[in-house]
Amino acid sequence: MNKFIYLIVLILSVAFFAAVASAQTPPKFSQYAAKVEKTKSVTVNLKSHKDASMFRTNLRNAAKEGVNFAGHFILTGWGCGTNCSQWAVIDARNGKVFFPKEFAGTGSGFCELPKNGLPSDAPKQEEPEYPDVVIFKANSRMAVINGFTGGGLNKENAKCGNYFFEWTGTKLKQVKFIEGKRVDTP
């Protein structure tokens, strides 16, 4: 009987630690593979989103650079203040612009990111302890926001960490979150 109880406890312990380890393992970009299309420079459709004309110069400059995200999209960002960046997605097939709310005012200040919170197949970071606020690849539908999403920096209860999103073609869908530690309040 004691051996049976010992075996049950051992199995449950292994299952528990495996679940904890899995919860902290970031997804890989390769899990969200996208075939990269060769497209010609696209004209940005400034009427496709209410904010597109306000950021037309940034969007047009990015469109000239070509596909860099999710197979046939262009992900571009620009500063919007201290520790703040705004991001948009352009469809390189038709010029349609998307401004996902998760990309509106991202930042990583005041956040201690989790160790080993980046995908093992992430692009090399110049300073791994301070990764880019948004990490993405041309051949993947996954984007990683490191820090706060959608203006969360200014919200007292906002969680910071590594946010993993899948681009569906029109919006971001969160697939995982590995919590960091908020270290100060702005």
52-79 pLDDT, tens per residue?
999 999 999 999 999 999 999 999 999 9
Number of neighbouring beta carbons within 10 Å of residue 109: 15
Sign of CA dihedral 85, 90, 95, 97: negative
pLDDT, one tens digit per residue, over 126-153 is 887 778 999 999 999 999 999 999 877 6
pTM, to two decimals: 0.84
- Please state, for a pLDDT cut of 90, what percent of the chain lies above it: 66
* pLDDT at 20 (0 to 100): 45
Number of neighbouring beta carbons within 10 Å of residue 50: 9
Buried-exposed string 118-150: b where 16+ CB fall within 10 A, e elsewhere? bbeebeeeeeeeebbbbbbbbbbbbbbbbbbbb
**Nearest alpha carbon to residue 108 among 139, 149, 68:** 149
Residue 165 φ then ψ, to 5°: -125, 150
pLDDT, one tens digit per residue, over 168-181 is 999 999 999 999 99
pLDDT, one tens digit per residue, over 19-63 is 444 458 999 999 999 999 998 889 999 999 999 999 999 999 999
